[in-house]
Amino acid sequence: MTEAAPPVPIEAYDQLATMVALADAGGRCLLANAALEGAVGLSRRALQRGSVLDWLVDPTQLRETLQMVAADQVTTSRFDAQVKRLGAGDGEVPVHVIVCQTDWPGCVLVEMIEIEQQIRLDREERSHGLVEANKELVRNLAHEIKNPLGGIRGAAQLLAMEVSSRELTEYTRVIIHEADRLQTLVDRLLAPHRRAQVVADINIHEVCERVRSLILAEFPRGLVVMRDYDTSIPEFRGDREQLIQAVLNVVHNATQALGERIAAGDARIVLRTRVVRQVTFGRQRFRLALELHVEDNGPGVPEAIRDRIFHPLVSGRDGGSGLGLTLAQTFVQQHRGTIDCDSVAGRTVFRILIPLP
């Protein structure tokens, strides 16, 4: 029998983001690429001394598949598995495994792709860290701005009393006006940390109804706010005002995006609640959670800011301060929940998930 040998220079495999190994029918590793080294956490040398079967939590399926592929019974086969992290750091990486024949006798290609969810989770975690860092930066900045701002405003007021020329009082008026505007911004930036949580039993539909009536009072015509409630959702402990504010900010954005449709008379927002079971968010798994969708039929979140809308001071509209969603996210997170967004033209959905007892 011919001795199987790596048919392609190893560098070619190292360019790939997916994990690739060549193995013989018995699982002996002939070649492992850089992505695989990274995932398993062992050096290429160590990997190539061992067996591909050693890397999976349950190698049964891989063992059978390798034999079948090598014996020409099938040309390719796919299944899901868990790769063990053998080096530093432990745990498992869920992967999609593709085993296929090569042109070299006795040599089988094993390709492993990290499962989407895992990648998404990592991305979420990274983005979460970034958002938290941003929020802290902005918060510290707000603190720094707050004190001198009072001084500037006071001095401008004193000055206004001293000067009599209309032209000059116009200047002091501008200073006072702008100082007030900045003060409002700073207050909003510091808002979530000003008041301690007031915890009570919350019925999510009470929260939705409150928001709905506030919005309908503001837009009595041209907008329908539909409800699609799952009334079996149990109460949970939380801060009612915070949750109302969070949902209101999201719904408010929807109404702003819906401007044209409101004018045309066919704007629609849907408030939808559901119970979801066995959900994982962050790294935590919850037995039960409530899901609140705020859906609108507006033009969608501008592409350019789509992945940053929860960051502070990111706005896609004139006159927006870019704080509404940051605050909404902070409030939801204070309920151990998450908020995300899925948007295409004509259908934007903000999804709030909050764990239930």
300 binds ligand ATP (CB under 6 A): yes
Residue number with CB closer to ligand ATP (153 or 261): 261
Residue type, 86: L
Query: Using the rule CB under 6 A, which residue among 37, 114, 291, 296 binds ligand ATP?
Result: 296
Site membership for ligand ATP, residue 325 (CB under 6 A): yes
Distance, in Å, from the CA atom of 312 to the CA atom of 137, rounded to the nearest integer, reads 10
The torsion angles phi and psi of 105, rounded to 5 degrees, stand at: -55, 135
End-to-end CA distance of the chain: 63
Q: Report the residue number whose CB is nearest to Mg ion.
A: 324
Q: Are strands 19-23 and 108-114 parallel, antiparallel or unpaired?
A: antiparallel
Residues 82-92, buried b or exposed e (16+ Cβ, 10 A)?
ebbbbeeeeee
Name the residue nearer to ligand ATP (CB basis): 151 or 346. 346
Q: Which of 26, 105, 302, 346 binds ligand ATP (CB under 6 A)?
A: 302
Q: In angstroms, rounded to a whole number, what is the distance separating the alpha carbons of residues 349 and 332?
A: 16
- Interface mask toward Mg ion for 297-326; x: CB under 5 A: ---------------------------x--
State in angstroms the smallest separation of the CB of 265 from ligand ATP.
Answer: 19
Give CA torsion, residues 99, 100, 101, 103, to 10 deg: -120
Please give the size of the binding site for Mg ion, defined by CB under 5 A: 2
Site string for ligand ATP, 250-279 (x = CB under 6 A): ---xx--x----------------------
**Gap between the Cα atoms of 298 and 301, Å rounded:** 9
Binding mask 236-255 for Mg ion (x = CB under 5 A): -----------------x--
| Interacting residues with ligand ATP (CB under 6 A) | 249, 253-254, 257, 296, 298, 300-302, 309, 314-317, 320-326, 348
